[in-house]
Amino acid sequence: MSNITNQTLSELIKNIKSKKISSTEVTKAFVERSEKSKKLNAYITDNFSSAIKKAKNFDEKPNFELKLPGIPIAVKDLFCTNGVKTTAGSKILNNFIPSYESTVTQNILDQGGILMGKLNCDEFAMGSSNETSFFGNVQNPIKENLVPGGSSGGSSSAVAANLTPVTIGTDTGGSIRQPASFTGTVGLKPTYGSCSRYGIVAFASSLDQAGPISKNVKDASILLEVISSFDKKDSTSIEFKRNQYSEELTNNIKGKKIGIPKEYRVEGMPQEIEDLWRKGIEYVKECGAEIIDISLPHTNYALPTYYIVAPAEASSNLARYDGVKYGFRSPGENLIDMYEKTRSEGFGEEVKRRIMIGTYVLSSGYYDAYYLKAQKVRQLIKKDFDEAYTKVDAILTPSTPSSAFKIGEKTNDPVSMYLNDIFTVPVNLAGLPGISIPAGTDQKGYPLGLQIIGKPFDEQTILNIAYSMEEKIGFKNQITDWWI
């Protein structure tokens, strides 16, 4: 079986259930390919030998009722995994072994999934190119020296390169959708409160959500069904009736109203993205959906709002890394000196920059001018969406303002790096679900994505729209295995 790693999640599930292939064969195939793909630097920690052992156990006593029967899955290294090192891409956690499991990864294990390893990411999920990881750059399988996006860059690279059938990332301002767009994969950020944040290394708690990255929409719906659950251990987890997303998936979107926000036509956006967007509009029309022009007037204020709210929450969340109870410690002359040296040496430049921004906007005398102001603008941004959703069922936009860029191209200019998330950030601020699907390529042959934004808790509608668009688009990722 040479082509195991090319198969989608749903094909693998079908073939394992019908006993055409065993979990061991599948796991070994992905492990072998992952081992041959070290050049991509997608993994921080591998769990290969344990995974193969678990696969053998599964085959001895298979349970085909499970949703992920013996399926090996590598996950972003931001999810705490019991007994398996969890670094968040940071030196400050480079020796941290959790004694508990995140709810989302537990859900995967409970449904028969097997942990194959921990995937590279920007340090504490702060970045849009995976270049802030303490463990080095990740290569985009599309082409050498191209970033895979971020912060879930190891995850997007691993799915696009067939190192794992599917994966989970986290998305605070676009960290699932932007890397999916850069690698020709599907990335879904669920509604805030849909997937538990318990056991996910916290970045900005009011924005963070876990979600799937996959080869296609069907696979994303299968994984969402597994990971989305109400969890008492997360105080912002929301109890609502969750769909059987994959079973209810349909390409019938007749009569759905889809909004096109004029504010997303940003200055300097390449013509090819504009064209792709127009094509996307044609596709959904052909599927019987109705197009409605809408306005989201505060779109331009989303990024500045995000760069107050997210760093403020991060500065508070990251206060726990002080070298006392776990992680890296740099010895000091006294306690304060130890704190300052530990944090100075343990955090990378981008993380320190964001902690400093956050500390400043929360500091005495500046709180009202920055943090409170940003919370008020966040309200306006959310109201824009509330208003739009009185007229439409979903919103269609580009996923990113450009395709993947070269490694090193934007590292010296934080603001230009931040602009990558211009189309994804508003969705996090408003707590909405959003999905990016590959919709074509630019002149250089690099993938470009389109984003569908939904109403709160209406993942099913955006999945259905994505599913019907996917059929029309017929996108095939061009991967040459240049790194093997």
- The single-letter code of the amino acid at 154 is G
Binding mask 95-134 for another protein (x = CB under 8 A): xxx-x-----------------------------------
If binding is defined by CB under 8 A, does position 235 make contact with another protein?
Answer: yes
Catalytic residues: 76, 151, 175
Is beta strand 186-189 parallel, antiparallel or unpaired with respect to 434-441? Answer: antiparallel
If binding is defined by CB under 8 A, does position 327 make contact with another protein?
Answer: yes
CB of 468 to another protein, least distance (A): 29
Q: How far is CA 387 from CA 51, 207, 296, in A?
A: 48, 21, 9
CA 482 to mean position of chain CA atoms: 25
DSSP state of 79: B
CB of 387 to another protein, least distance (A): 14
Q: Quick one: tokens of 33?
A: 């390919």
Of residues 40, 149, 41, 148, the one with CA closest to residue 482:
40
- Please pick, from the candidates 124, 135, 283, 347, the single residue that binds another protein as defined by CB under 8 A: 347
Those residues whose C-beta lies under 8 Å from the C-beta of residue 346, and which sit 6 or more positions away, are 90, 91, 92, 321, 323, 327, 328, 330
Closer by beta carbon to another protein, 18 or else 412: 412
Contacts 24+ apart (CB under 8 A), 1-6: 1/25, 1/29, 4/29, 4/30, 5/29, 5/30, 5/33, 5/162, 5/163, 5/165, 6/162
- Please pick, from the candidates 66, 200, 374, 437, the single residue that binds another protein as defined by CB under 8 A: 374
Closer by beta carbon to another protein, 97 or else 484: 97
Segment 163 to 192, residues that bind another protein, using CB under 8 A: 192
Is beta strand 434-441 parallel, antiparallel or unpaired with respect to 447-454? Answer: antiparallel
CB of 297 to another protein, least distance (A): 10
- Please pick, from the candidates 143, 242, 352, 472, the single residue that binds another protein as defined by CB under 8 A: 352
Segment 415 to 474, residues that bind another protein, using CB under 8 A: 415, 418, 430-431
CB of 113 to another protein, least distance (A): 23
- The answer to whether 423 touches 451, Cβ cutoff 8 Å, is yes
Is beta strand 394-398 parallel, antiparallel or unpaired with respect to 257-261? Answer: parallel
Which of these ranges, 34-42, 211-219, 371-379, 389-397, lies near another protein under the rule CB under 8 A?
A: 371-379
Binding mask 18-57 for another protein (x = CB under 8 A): ----------------------------------------
Give the whole-angstrom CA distance, residue 74 versus residue 18.
Answer: 24
Which of these ranges, 40-48, 131-139, 180-188, 300-308, lies near another protein under the rule CB under 8 A?
A: 300-308
Pseudo-torsion of CA 467, 77, 427, 227, nearest 10°? 50
Closer by beta carbon to another protein, 332 or else 401: 332
Give the whole-angstrom CA distance, residue 141 versus residue 318.
Answer: 32
Of residues 245, 181, 211, 229, the one with CA closest to residue 10:
245
Which of these ranges, 115-123, 162-170, 288-296, 304-312, lies near another protein under the rule CB under 8 A?
A: 304-312
Closer by beta carbon to another protein, 335 or else 484: 335
Q: What is the binding site for another protein (CB under 8 A)?
A: 95-97, 99, 192-193, 206, 232, 235-236, 238, 298, 300-301, 303-305, 307-308, 315, 319, 322-329, 331-341, 343-344, 347, 352-353, 355-357, 359-360, 363, 370, 372-380, 382, 414-415, 418, 430-431
